[in-house]
Structure 1
């Protein structure tokens, strides 16, 4: 674990379920003070209660992080409850499916606003506070963005808007990292591969087996493994890492063709 995270003020957007909930739980276990942000107060409170039940410090906050008012309120809440803000995990995101032909401009804009615009607004609001926290130890500003393999590395039918939003996050990250580096604030991203979340739990075993067959590690990743990457990038040990996108995918994006996996199996 990373002792430098103990007592740090952390915001996790989209923290009430899936990967975000795992990230929030990981920071709580590390001794950080966690603000779990979700659109619905009840969902945020439930995730925070789980962290508290495990011995951590957490509270819930409802906000629409695709709006400047929502992100400003979220950051103000973290400062009021924790005395400042050290870490932002910009994780909020959606992935509705629609082909390019059937996708409406409103569909596209909704995904871009929820995934990419919310990243910009969350980072903007957090950076304003992190830059002026002269009383807090230097070099404690950490921003971790949850991107995806879809968009930055691969494509998938029905997810053109999602892929555009996730690729856009990495473009935004690189410039944000340059602008904020002089203030001791790092900006990095994690790129999850096939991760087992509650959203996949009810899918047919045959479908899940097809996914694991395409992963060199031959399994899904866990939300705890994604959280481990976020915790590292938020720690003092990662103080000299910025503008980096960390893939956590069991090697999913490595094979050039499907036959590469078959060749690898025959050599073992």
Structure 2
């Protein structure tokens, strides 16, 4: 884990500034969430395994947002533990965790069928998409409990809610697992002032959703009732609410943000 900057989130005389971490924040949806949280007044640690995360957040930090980069592979359990410990040492608190890191390997924009999928491919997706969220949550919850307040936002997917033709079995399992894990966590920590909720995005502009050709994109957009693909900023606004003081009576929920393609 390599912090790229060191910023004190508590300016003299300022109100409480909560500290948040967002995984998979090097671009796309994760960066949109990280920026939205920073715009809401949080101090945000934007985490990604690519060193390019530093460049991604630099422009936002330059315009005064409390946002910094940290290079970390979320499957590195020791690294996750070190990042949480570092935040506690520097800021004395760890308030918000957004488990957004995720991968969905495809071939030419098409999902890998189950009979063509190796066990290694299965494990890689589950490790990044689900196990990392478990480990990060486990490490962050004690700090939240000490302060009697916390917010965990887990990024699921429409593929975790219903059949999605482009989703491989490993990806769908990881995103459905995120929902099940979140419900149990929500019940376990509710009395500690901590909420745990899921966002289940539909098709959102990101490097992952840009796989495939124009014909595939046109077909997918045509199936969205609102007639367009969503933006990272729209997911960011939902995450900012779930990470706020105003969401204290909302826990164990799944918020579907998909342009109407799935209505529970």
- TM-score, length-normalised on structure 2? 0.87
Q: Does 1:231 align with 2:236?
A: no
Instruction: Report 1:19-98 matches (<5 A).
Output: 19-40=29-50, 42-97=51-106, 98=112
Instruction: Report 1:89-238 matches (<5 A).
Output: 89-97=98-106, 98-133=112-147, 138=148, 140-157=149-166, 159-200=168-209, 204-238=213-247
| Equivalent residues, number | 245
The Cα of 1:6 is off from its aligned counterpart by 7.1
**5+ residue gaps, structure 1:** 256-268
**Conserved in 2, the CA contact under 8 Å of 1:36 and 1:47?**
no
The Cα of 1:212 is off from its aligned counterpart by 1.4
- Three-state SS of the structure 2 residue aligned to 1:195 is coil
Q: C-alpha distance in 1, partners of 2:205/2:215?
A: 15
Q: C-alpha distance in 2, partners of 1:206/1:24?
A: 31
CA-based RMSD of the aligned residues comes to: 1.9
**5+ residue gaps, structure 2:** 1-14, 107-111
The Cα of 1:158 is off from its aligned counterpart by 5.5
> CA 1:152–1:201 in structure 2 vs 1: closer, same or farther (change >3 Å)?
closer
The Cα of 1:221 is off from its aligned counterpart by 0.6
**Conserved in 2, the CA contact under 8 Å of 1:36 and 1:61?**
yes
The Cα of 1:199 is off from its aligned counterpart by 4.3
Partner in structure 2 of residue 10 of structure 1: 20
